[in-house]
A and B are shown apart, each in its own frame.
Chain A
Amino acid sequence: MKNIEKEDIPELAARIPFEQLSESEQERIISLIGSPQIYASLGYSVEKSKEILTSEYSASPSLHKAPAALHNALRRRSQISAPLLFRPIPLYQAGLAVAATIACIFIMVPQQKTTNTVVSSLPAQPTIIVQTINKDSLVSLIRDSLQYVFVQKEYVKANHKNNIQENNTDYEQISEHIAYNDTTTEKQKNPFVGLDNMDMVLSQKKGITSNAHYTAAKFAYRPRTER
């Protein structure tokens, strides 16, 4: 250890006492720092400082777990960086989402049934209704049925009679009209309004005015001097 530098002396002094150094080393050290006492004081300072600092460090409280603020910061960063679908959501939000889904199912399913849009509905099971019929109930059932049949029969008969009467009146009117058309050759006052003038009425509706009507209107509204 010939090339001892001044900066190396403190740590050397902490490890090796001055007496244990070789003569050349002792001379070198004395030439650098002055005296063996200074060498000893440097060594003592380093040794004691290390000892004290180590004991202080071990006495200081341990920090095993990161504080909640750091965990929260980590959670926030994870939420921001994660895709939308994979972001964790609070429990109450998850509960709300489930409740909304169930409500939607309850609303949608009956509507589908009424509009016959249920694709995968199960075939209806045939239901067998077993009724115990005793003598009294059988009698009342037959009586009610017969009454119902009679009432229906009466209703049908009355309905039929009305229909026949209406048909007869229609037939009389039609036959009278036919007879009139056959007998009259001249233009008389037609009691059946509209049938003879049908062509004109239709042409007026279409916006076509006959020449006769047009000339008559033109004559009627020309200036007085021209008349």
Chain B
Amino acid sequence: MRFFSKIVTKKSDEELLHSLGRGNSSALDELYSRYAKRIVFYCTKMLSDPQKAEDIVHDIFLKIIENPSIVDTQKSFSTWVFSCAYNACKNEYRRRQTKEIPHNELDEHLVQNADFIHDTDIALFKELLEQSLDDLSSEHRTVFVLRYTEDFSLKEIANVTGIPEGTVKSRLYYAVKKLAQQLHSFSHYYTDIS
């Protein structure tokens, strides 16, 4: 996914942040175009609520505008921004503690009958993946999404979440294992391939 962010970069994030501190609106646009979509996508995956994801992005950028010195210069800007998004999602989870996980009967039906649908398309897999991600805890999901959407290294994920690298590794393994179990019905694909 980082492939998308590797489109021609004229100025570094830190330079743009410095310009933003002096009130440069084009620097704001540039930073926004680099990160807003990524953060929205991450938060949407975390919260399953695109509107809330946009609100989080807006809040993060508003914080940066009001006080550019809030950005932790010890971390890279991307790590800092994602750690902000991670904390915001965590707060949202806490707020939603009473929320019940929606039970999708259709998806369950699909899972049960996937063995009989030999021409299963990618859309079905996508739906199952979404459901599997929803079933994961927020910690496991964060690690999974950051690793496979943002292509963050284990160290970067550790910086974002504030946990040791070893814990990141084990959480990632647990998430993939659980996903594989959920997607067991698609076994004919990889057994054929292998």
Contact = CB atoms under 8 A, between A and B. Distances in A.
A41 interface: yes
A49 B58 contact: no
Contacts of A52: 122, 125-126, 129
B32 A70 contact: yes
B1 A63 contact: no
Contact of A40 (B33, B36, B191): B191
Contact of B32 (A19, A38, A63, A77): A63
B148 interface: yes
Instruction: Please tell me the size bucket of the interface on B.
Output: 35 or more
B170 A7 contact: yes
B59 to A, nearest CB: 11
Q: Is chain A's binding surface mostly helix, strand, loop or mixed? A: helix
Interface stretch (B76-84, B93-101, B178-186): B178-186
B62 A73 contact: yes
Contact of B190 (A7, A40, A50, A70): A40
Nearest to B187: A41
B190 A6 contact: no
A10 B172 contact: yes
B152 interface: no
B65 A49 contact: no
Interface in A77-136: 77-78, 81
B103 to A, nearest CB: 22
Contacts of A61: 37
Contact of B58 (A38, A57, A70, A74): A70
A46 B148 contact: yes
Contacts of B148: 46, 49-50, 53
B84 to A, nearest CB: 15
- Most A C-beta atoms less than 10 A away, residue of B36, B44, B65: B65
Q: Is chain B's binding surface mostly helix, strand, loop or mixed? A: helix
Nearest to A41: B180
B176 A60 contact: no
A57 B62 contact: no
A67 interface: yes
A47 B167 CA distance: 22
Nearest to A6: B173
A143 interface: no
A5 B180 CA distance: 18
A71 interface: yes
Nearest to A49: B148
Nearest to A62: B37
A9 B65 contact: no
Interface stretch (B20-28, B110-118, B155-163): B20-28
B193 interface: yes
A19 B33 CA distance: 44
B126 A58 contact: no
Contacts of B187: 37, 41
B12 interface: no
Interface of B: 1, 4, 20, 23, 25, 28-29, 32-33, 36-38, 40-41, 44-45, 58, 61-62, 65-66, 122, 125-126, 129, 144-145, 148-149, 169-170, 172-173, 176-177, 179-180, 183-184, 186-187, 189-191, 193-194
- Which 5 A-B pairs give the minimum distances between C-beta atoms? A78-B23, A44-B190, A66-B32, A63-B36, A7-B169
Interface of A: 5-10, 17-19, 36-38, 40-46, 48-50, 52-54, 56-58, 60-67, 69-71, 73-75, 77-78, 81
24 contacts: A5-B169, A7-B172, A10-B172, A10-B177, A18-B194, A19-B194, A38-B180, A40-B190, A40-B194, A41-B180, A41-B183, A41-B187, A44-B180, A44-B189, A44-B190, A45-B180, A46-B176, A56-B41, A57-B4, A63-B37, A64-B29, A65-B32, A66-B32, A70-B61
